[in-house]
């Protein structure tokens, strides 16, 4: 039976990380385990940086955003002797098990370490993007959607007062989950996502038809990963800093909102403004729904450790928390199904 459990948070931070840490630690401490936080994601295992997670450390963290143990986008497979260092530090710290809380990158490393080196790891699915397979929802997503929806509500009143088009750029990387859900909830007039690349011309037509019906303001939600798509078939990716990629090869996205707003203003003649929500979507306190989901995931992860079910991940199927193989979560991105986009599309224009 495992006696010392490490907990690690990797990738972009996300509301609910502390709720998972608390749940893993509470249940494991109750069972007499020692719980250790690995600092700054995989970086902490490459460098050997740990801190104790006792009752005092986890007290009061449930509603706190961010992660008390820090995070990073370090990929040990991309650092020289990185994997070797991870294995050595796991052994030196006498960790019998590791709970890795992260998205496709962090969990991809966890799955590989388990498959290649039998590292006793279990996963917890985290990301505001909700793009992980094998789970219906990730924690953090509900908070991001809530923040984006509130922003859309606020933009409605100022758009209406000035008869403007408001473009709202939301996160989500290469999937449009945040855009679709916040757009439906906020009553967006057009939503542009990577999975269903509506053209710029169609977007402008929707706005014109709306204005033709006497609605002289519009809200357009665009997902950061949407490529400007034209009727001619041309597609144009807009990246924040095209040269900037992390150790997992992801480009830094951002900027499509500006480009789209320019296109809309030029083509329709309607005054257009843009709001980029950015990291506001990731900061601050998790919603109650995310706190509950994160807590249930954390308890399940602690149970998987206790049962020695390594190479597995806690997942949400319907309303049940279940265990799925880690590799199933990272095999492909979970994109927005057409049915969800149809719900949004019913209110376009
Ligand atoms: O994956 C979460 C996410 O917030 C994406 O939506 C976004 O593209 C990316 O992380 C931003 O990363 P960073 O915090 O490194 O700028």
Global pTM exceeds 0.95: yes
The architecture of the domain spanning 4-139+286-330 is 3-Layer(aba) Sandwich (3.40)
**Token couple for 26:** 């509470």
Q: Which atom belonging to ligand 1 lies closest to the Cα atom of 131? A: 1
CA of 88 to the centre of ligand 1 (A): 30
Q: Which of 143, 173, 238, 241 to mutate to test the pocket of ligand 1 (most atoms within 8 A of CB)?
A: 173
Q: Which of 202, 244, 206, 203 is nearest to 222 (CA)?
A: 203
Q: Does ligand 1 come within 6 angstroms of the Cβ of 37?
A: no
The fold adopted by the segment(s) 144-282 is: Rossmann fold (3.40.50)
- pLDDT tens, the chain, 349 aa long: 559 999 999 999 999 999 999 999 999 999 999 999 999 999 999 999 999 999 999 999 999 999 999 999 999 999 889 999 999 999 999 999 999 999 999 999 999 999 999 999 999 999 999 999 999 999 999 999 999 999 999 999 999 999 999 999 999 999 999 999 999 999 999 999 999 999 999 999 999 999 999 999 999 999 999 999 999 999 998 876 666 788 998 888 999 999 999 999 999 999 999 999 999 999 999 999 999 999 999 999 999 999 999 999 999 999 999 999 999 999 999 999 999 999 999 999 9
Q: What are the structural domain ranges in the chain?
A: 4-139+286-330, 144-282
Strand partners, 260: none
Does 144-282 match 4-139+286-330 at the fold level? Answer: yes
Using a 6 Å cutoff on CB, does residue 282 contact ligand 1? yes
CA distance from start to end of the chain: 59
Strand duo 97-102 + 121-125: pairing: parallel
Q: How far is the CA of 100 from the centre of ligand 1 (A)?
A: 18
Cα torsion angle, 43, 285, 282, 304, sign:
positive
The Å distance, Cα 173 to ligand 1 centre, comes to: 7
């Amino acid at each position: 039976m495992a006696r010392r459990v490490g907990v690690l948070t990797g990738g972009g931070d996300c509301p609910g990380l502390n709720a998972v840490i608390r749940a893993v630690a509470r249940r494991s401490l109750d069972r007499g385990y020692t719980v250790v936080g690995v600092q700054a994601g995989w970086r902490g295992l490459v460098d050997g940086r740990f801190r104790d997670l006792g009752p005092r450390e986890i007290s009061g963290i449930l509603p706190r955003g961010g992660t008390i143990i820090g995070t990073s986008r370090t990929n040990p497979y991309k650092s020289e002797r990185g994997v070797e260092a991870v294995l050595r530090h796991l052994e030196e710290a006498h960790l019998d098990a590791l709970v890795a809380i992260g998205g496709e990158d962090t969990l991809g490393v966890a799955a590989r370490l388990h498959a290649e080196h039998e590292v006793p790891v279990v996963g917890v699915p985290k990301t505001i993007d909700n793009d992980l397979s094998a789970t219906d929802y990730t924690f953090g997503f509900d908070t991001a959607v809530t923040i984006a929806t509130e922003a859309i509500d606020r933009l409605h009143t100022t758009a209406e007062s000035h008869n403007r088009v408001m473009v709202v750029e939301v996160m989500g990387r290469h999937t449009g989950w945040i855009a679709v859900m916040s757009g439906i909830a906020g009553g967006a007039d057009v939503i542009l996502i990577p999975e269903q690349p509506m053209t710029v011309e169609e977007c402008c037509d929707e706005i014109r038809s709306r204005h033709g019906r006497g609605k002289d303001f519009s809200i357009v939600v665009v997902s950061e990963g949407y490529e400007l798509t034209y009727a001619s078939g041309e597609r144009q990716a807009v990246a924040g800093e095209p040269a900037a990629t992390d150790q997992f090869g992801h480009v830094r996205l951002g900027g499509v909102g500006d480009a789209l707003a320019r296109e809309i203003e030029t083509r329709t003649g309607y005054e257009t403004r843009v709001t980029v929500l950015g990291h506001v979507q990731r900061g601050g306190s998790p919603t109650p729904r995310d706190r509950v989901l994160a807590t249930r995931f954390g308890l399940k992860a602690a149970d998987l450790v206790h049962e020695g079910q390594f190479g597995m991940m806690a997942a949400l199927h319907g309303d049940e928390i279940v265990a799925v193989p880690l590799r199933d979560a990272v095999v492909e991105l979970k994109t927005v199904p057409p049915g969800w986009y149809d719900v949004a599309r019913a209110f376009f224009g």
